[in-house]
Structure formats: C-alpha cells, structure tokens
Amino acid sequence: MLEVVIATLIGSIAAIAILNIGLQSSKLSSEIKKRDAISAPLSIAALHGKKDFHNLERTLESMLSGAYAIDHEDLKRYLQEHKALYTEEIVERYDITAEAEGYEITQPISFEIIVKTVSANGAEGRIYAIESE
C-alpha cells in the first residue's frame, strides 16, 4: 500500500511539472504570435516613413505605394487595414566646421540624429537614424 501511495505521489509531481511546462510553452507561443503581428507594421512604417508622414497615422499601403506596385489582393487588403502612427524628432544636431581631433576639415559637415517612432497595434518601436544635409 505504501509503495502505491509513493508511486502515485511521484506520478502526481511529474504530471504537475509537465502541465507547468505546457502552460509556459502556451504563454510563450502566445507572446511570440503577438510580437509577430506587431513587427510587420512597425518595420514597414519605420523603413518607409518619410518626413511628410510626421505625426500622421497612415495605412501601411499608403507608406509603400510610392515604392512598390502591390498586385497581390490579400497583401493589399492587409496593408490597407493596418495603420501606423509615424513621428520624427531631432535628438541632436551637429555642425562641424573646425579641426576635429587633428583632421583638417575643408567643408563644413552637418548632420542630425533623429529618432523615428512608430506605433501600431498598441505597440511602439524606435529607430535612431543619422541624416546629413
């Protein structure tokens, strides 16, 4: 009888451990699907956003329309249904005209560090870019 109780106890502990692993796996899978659904709109908007899109919510299709001819109907519908808010902010501006660390500069160098923020599907992503004039 004691052996049966111990075997049942060991079996129960193993079952609880397996169920716990299954629950964690399910949560992780759900999180990966959620991030995957967010990453496409964020990456499209971040790569194809322009200064004239600043502080505007645009469809992904409008962001891509100037760069690509989109013929696939399912893809076109997906891009029309999803919107992203695109903003740009200048973080710092540099104007280098004098000698820098022993190098003689013959022409002035100007550039800006810009943070591009994209919000889509309740998530937000940021990309830092360097743009020169």
H or E segment and range at residue 85: strand 83-96
Q: What is the pLDDT of residue 98?
A: 62
Domain residue limits at 81: 2-132
pTM of the model: 0.53
Q: What is the pLDDT of residue 53?
A: 77
Q: What is the pLDDT of residue 44?
A: 77
Q: Give me the DSSP letters along 19-80.
A: HHHHHHHHHHHHHHHHHHHHHHHHHHHHHH--GGGTTEEEEHHHHHTTT-----HHHHHHHH
Mean pLDDT of successive 10-residue stretches along the chain, which has 133 residues: 89 91 90 75 74 79 81 85 85 76 72 86 81 77
> What is the total count of domains within the chain?
1
Q: Which candidate, 55, 52, 51, 53, places its Cα nearest to that of 114?
A: 51
